């Protein structure tokens, strides 16, 4: 079993975290606040936006993004691969499981984290969606279980 999916997710989290840290003067991220059609980005503001767009932009405040990145890293840490090879406690052969929930690895939680990035050029082909990219049937796992 390859850790290709985890490496892909960690790379995306690195990118998101790095970008969030660079969004403020001197790398310090300020709080983003929407007020009507204006988004205040620390010392700078964006005016003339539809209020829903301003709220959406403010929702991606770099400080919040950094908290989200750390939360996703904790999820990745909990849902680590638990290889079946050489484990006398497991009654089955040749089945890699998620150490958190015992589901076949990669479990649905990891696949859900990955699905956000399905349009990324480095997205692992074996985990492509089985249906429509938005609200489809879900991610598929290759015939070999990977």
Encoded tokens for 80 = 């680590």
Q: How many domains does the chain have?
A: 1
Q: Which residue has the higher pLDDT, 137 or 83?
A: 83
Whether residue 86 lies inside any domain: the answer is yes
The residue with tokens 């996703």 is 72
- pTM of the model as a whole: 0.76
Whether residue 85 lies inside any domain: the answer is yes
- pLDDT score for 144: 43
Whether residue 146 lies inside any domain: the answer is no
The phi, psi pair for 119, rounded to 5°, reads -90, 0
Pairing of strands 44-46, 38-41: antiparallel
Task: Determine contact, residues 79/6, Cβ cutoff 8 Å.
Answer: no
* pLDDT tens per residue, range 62-84: 889 999 999 999 999 999 887 76
């Amino acid at each position: 079993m390859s850790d290709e999916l985890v490496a892909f997710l960690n790379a995306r989290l690195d990118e998101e975290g790095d970008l969030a840290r660079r969004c403020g003067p001197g790398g310090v991220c300020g709080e983003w606040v929407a007020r009507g059609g204006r988004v205040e980005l620390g010392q700078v503001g964006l005016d003339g936006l539809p209020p829903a767009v301003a709220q959406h932009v403010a929702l991606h405040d770099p400080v919040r993004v950094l908290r989200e990145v750390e939360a996703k890293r904790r999820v990745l840490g909990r849902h680590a691969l638990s290889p079946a090879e050489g484990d006398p406690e497991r009654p089955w052969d040749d089945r890699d499981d998620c150490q958190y929930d015992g589901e076949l690895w990669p479990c649905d939680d990891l696949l859900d984290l990955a699905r956000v990035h399905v349009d990324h050029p480095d997205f692992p082909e074996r985990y492509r969606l089985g249906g429509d990219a938005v609200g489809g049937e879900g991610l598929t796992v290759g015939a070999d279980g990977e």
